[in-house]
Structure formats: structure tokens, C-alpha cells
Amino acid sequence: MAAGNWSRVTEFVLMSFSSLPTEIQTLLFLAFLAIYLVTLLGNSLIILVTLADPMLQSPMYFFLRNLSFIEIGFNLVIVPKMLGTLIAQDTSISFLGCAIQMYFFFFFGVAECFLLATMAYDRYVAICSPLHYPVIMNQETRAKLAAASWFPGFPVATVQTTWLFSFPFCATNKVNHFFCDSPPVLRLVCADTARFEVYAIVGTILVVMIPCLLILCSYTRITASILKIPSAKGKRKAFSTCSSHLLVVSLFYVSLSLTYFRPKSNNSPESKKLLSLSYTVVTPLLNPIIYSLRNNEVKNALSRTFHKVLALRNFIL
């Protein structure tokens, strides 16, 4: 690396919410800690119940289990470090640690986009071709679809993270965010980043828009099929099978779009932090709540599992 105005950066400093008073930071720590623990517990329960309960072995719950894995990954990558910056004022993160955090943030983010599209396709087949659903969505097909959802995260995260961290960085190492996201880290680069920015914008649009278009196509066909159902009860039943997924998709894409596709003039660092909290902290919390509260099969499975655990506990005692 050249000398002069550049220096070798060995660590970054996450500004996080340092501009807020200490009392507010303590309250945020308690709130985020509670959200973090509930998120881990809720998504872990979804995984365990959909694995253990024989009534939840359909493709829909197989994909839901994958979604819960992604949400747990998101939380483990982002939240523990954020909690450290709030309560222990441990704002430093190593150069390698920052790169790893960014890599897995991209990986899980891309995987979630494509998995939500896969789940929309699953609902399309279930509603539009119910008689052929078990044949079309067999074990081999759903395994391939899950793999296809996870795979795009690897090249996207590898190229974007490797390219960004190959740039020289200026003397300042303060990242104005609560995690190592691409835009705030890119501001610290001392080089021409025009090509990278074009790649990042095009890549983000493709990663977000391709799954979004697939979801829109699926739900257009789903809506057309539901409208053809003669009875109101049948329409409600068909819509209820995809309402939870539709709500999760809406929450995820609205928060993501507001964060990355707003004009820069309306995108202050503080507002970006708040919007980033919606898909890194809030959405992973809401997903298991939405699927458990709006799905009778999941609620019944949780009840059966709870009673089995109680019965086993009483037997041991």
C-alpha cells in the first residue's frame, strides 16, 4: 500500500449509536437483548418442531425451517457485536472481522431473497395445482430448490466483499453504522470506486428484483386461481395458506427497499441505521411469530411438543 495520505487499517470503529446518551444506549441494549433472545428461541422452536412433528413434514415447513436458519444466521452475525457496542462500548472490530461480518450479511441477505421466492413458488403449486403438488414438490425437488436458494449468496458475497476490502483505506477508520455494511465502509476508501459502485448497484437490483418478480408472478397466478374458487369459504382457506408468507415478504422487501433504494439526499446515516434495524433485528423476530400465530398447524404442533416435554419431565421425575 502506498505511503502518504494512506495508512494500513488493521481495525475499524463502529460508531453504532454512540451519538445517543448513555441512558438511551442502556435502554436500547435491554430492548435489543430481549429481541435477540426471543428471536433465537422462536426460530429454534420452528426448526425443532418442523423437524420433530410428523404433521409438519410438507414442503412448506421444509422451506420455513430454512428461513428460520437464515434468520438465526442474520442475528448471530449482526446483533452480538451491536450489543457489545451498546453496553461495553466495545466499538472496535478487526479488519478481518469486519470483512467476515459483511460477507455473511450479504450471504444470508441474498439467500433470504431467493428463499422467499422459492416459498412463493411452493404456494403457487399448492394452490394452482393441488392434485399434482405432492408429485411436483417431492423431496428431491424441494432439496434442489433450497440449494438453489442458498447458492447465489456465495458468489455475491465473495465478489463484493473481496473486491471492497482489496481497496486502500484512508487514515480514518470510523464506520458510521452498527455493523459493517457496504455503503459506510465504502466511504472510507481512498481510491476510485466508480466500477465497484456500478457493480454493487446492478448486483443489488438483480438480487432484489429477480426474486421479487418471481414472487409477483407467483402471486398473480395465485390470485387468479383464488378468484376462480366459487365459494367464499374456499377463497378464505386458499388465501390463508399464503397470507403468512405474503406478510413476511412485504415486511422484508419494504424495509430493504427503503434502506437501499432511497435517494441519497433522503438517506442520512441515522435514518439508514433505523431502517437497517427493521430487516436485521425486527423482521427475524416477527417471522416465527407470524408463522406461529397465523398458522393453526404450527400452533397445534407447538402444543403437542410442549405436552410431550411435560410428560417426559413428569416421567423422569
Each residue of 230-271: pLDDT tens digit?
888 888 887 887 888 888 888 888 877 777 766 665 566 677
Q: Report the chain's mean pLDDT, rounded to a whole number.
A: 85
* pLDDT over 50 (residue 88): yes
Structure confidence at residue 22 (pLDDT): 86
**248 and 293 in contact (C-beta within 8 Å)?**
no
The contacts of residue 64 (CB under 8 Å, 6+ apart) are: 46, 50, 119, 291
Structure confidence at residue 69 (pLDDT): 94
Q: What is the mean pLDDT of residues 210-228?
A: 91
pTM: 0.88
Residue among 215, 245, 219, 234 nearest 59 (CA):
245
* pLDDT over 90 (residue 117): yes
Other Cβ atoms less than 10 A from the Cβ of 312: the count is 10
Structure confidence at residue 2 (pLDDT): 42
**293 and 243 in contact (C-beta within 8 Å)?**
no
CA–centroid distance for 119 within its chain: 14
Structure confidence at residue 63 (pLDDT): 93
pLDDT, tens digit, 9 for 90 and up, residues 205-214: 888 889 999 9
Structure confidence at residue 3 (pLDDT): 43
Structure confidence at residue 309 (pLDDT): 65
Cell of 173: 477508520
> Between helices 194-227 and 95-128, what is the axis angle to 10°?
20
Q: What residue has cell string 426474486?
A: 211
The contacts of residue 38 (CB under 8 Å, 6+ apart) are: 285
DSSP state of 280: I
Cell of 38: 426471543
Structure confidence at residue 301 (pLDDT): 73
* pLDDT over 70 (residue 314): no
Q: Give 180's Cβ-side CA count (13 Å radius).
A: 28
Sign of CA pseudo-dihedral 69, 200, 158, 144? positive
pLDDT, tens digit, 9 for 90 and up, residues 8-50: 678 899 988 888 888 888 999 999 999 999 999 989 988 988 8
Residue among 212, 221, 223, 214 nearest 249 (CA):
212
Cell of 6: 494512506
